[in-house]
Amino acid sequence: MPRKTPAGPPSVRALVLLAILAVTALTLDQFAKYLVVSNLPLGEQVTVLGDLLILQFVKNPGAAFSLAAGSTWIFSILAAVVTVVIIVLARRIRSIGWAVVFGLLLGGVLGNLTDRLFREPSFGLGHVIDFISTPWMIPAIYNIADICIVSSMGLFILLTIRGINLDGTRSVSSKPGNLVDGAAQDAEKSPASRAGTVEPQVEPHRSDA
């Protein structure tokens, strides 16, 4: 059966960290997009580190990494739902790790949602500003919000594998080897083992002469 370790730090610390990360991610994302829109012509490539890092201003009507173009309104609704879910779950978070997960996720979702709500062509259908290209790693153009979302998913997988819960407790599954050891220890503590073993007495053989 899974066991739980004691709870982690107070929820206030986790909530503050979540809020700071979300605001920081949103601010960096929007500021970077502002610089790109103000200084880069649409579609033009600027080489920063050879093929390792290229800046290219594009307008993305789809999801992260330019996927599913043409379904902007669907992603706007999903982003709004994710935002509400994170806010509802926030009061249950006491784990610093999970605070980082939801802080990065919330900041990334809000960064792209802001574009969809307030950029052209219309409210809820706005195109997301993408500008980071790393063709050696992935054949897509993305932004800081996308990086935050992907990073949060990676940390989500890590925390899940380690069995760390939202409240800071840690679930530990009993392994087969531990069960065998536990059974052996229980056997040693049983009344029969404490009483000791009684060796059978064998009467000597007598022959009648």
Measured between alpha carbons, how far is 131 from 144 in angstroms, rounded to an integer? 9
Average pLDDT over residues 2-25: 77
Measured between alpha carbons, how far is 117 from 124 in angstroms, rounded to an integer? 4
Q: Is the dihedral of CA 145, 151, 154, 158 positive or negative?
A: negative
What pLDDT, on a 0 to 100 scale, did the predictor assign at position 36?
Answer: 95
146 is catalytic: yes
84-93: Cβ within 8 A, 24+ apart: 89/166, 90/15, 90/18, 91/11, 91/15, 92/11, 92/166, 92/167, 93/11, 93/14, 93/15, 93/18, 93/166, 93/167
- Which of the residues 29, 130, 181, 186 is marked catalytic? 130
Which distant-in-sequence residues (6+ apart) come within 8 Å of 158 by Cβ?
none
- Which of the residues 29, 51, 146, 208 is marked catalytic? 146
CA angle 51, 54, 56 (to 5 degrees): 145
Sheet holding 54-60, edge to edge: 45-47, 54-60, 128-133, 141-142
What pLDDT, on a 0 to 100 scale, did the predictor assign at position 137?
Answer: 86
Say if CB 141 and CB 147 are below 8 A apart.
no
Which distant-in-sequence residues (6+ apart) come within 8 Å of 183 by Cβ?
none
pTM of the shown model: 0.74
Measured between alpha carbons, how far is 163 from 170 in angstroms, rounded to an integer? 5
CA angle 20, 25, 26 (to 5 degrees): 100
Average pLDDT over residues 88-115: 93
Take residue 70 and report the two structure tokens written for it. 């043409």
Does the structure show a pLDDT above 50 at 178? no
Neighbours of 143 (CB within 10 A): 26
> Which tens digits make up the pLDDT trace of 25-82?
999 999 999 999 999 999 888 988 887 899 999 998 765 555 555 566 777 888 889 9
> Which tens digits make up the pLDDT trace of 108-160?
999 999 999 998 887 877 889 999 999 888 888 999 999 999 999 999 999 99
What pLDDT, on a 0 to 100 scale, did the predictor assign at position 96?
Answer: 94
167 is catalytic: no
Average pLDDT over residues 86-103: 92
